[in-house]
Amino acid sequence: MLTPFQVTPYYRALLETLGPNHPLHRTVEPLDDCTPAPGELADPLGEDAHSPTPGLIH
């Protein structure tokens, strides 16, 4: 399962030019091992419900 992500048009063109095996892909594309596995919680500590801003990491 691939996590949705966005990049600027410049980065998209650059990534397409460099190819999928270029190291820059690892800095931009989310890795499959970063997504929760079946049975694993996306927010195991329940912090999302108490976050003042979505996506805030502290």
Q: Tell me the HSE value of 32 on the side-chain side, using a 13 A CA sphere.
A: 2
pLDDT digits (tens, 9 = 90+) for 17-50: 998 888 888 788 777 676 777 888 878 888 888 8
Distances (CA, A) of 58 to 27, 36, 48: 21, 20, 11
Q: Where are the domains of the chain?
A: 1-35
| Length of the chain measured in residues | 58
pTM over 0.75: no
pLDDT at 3: 61
What is the distance between the alpha carbons of residues 5 and 53, in angstroms, rounded to a whole number? 19
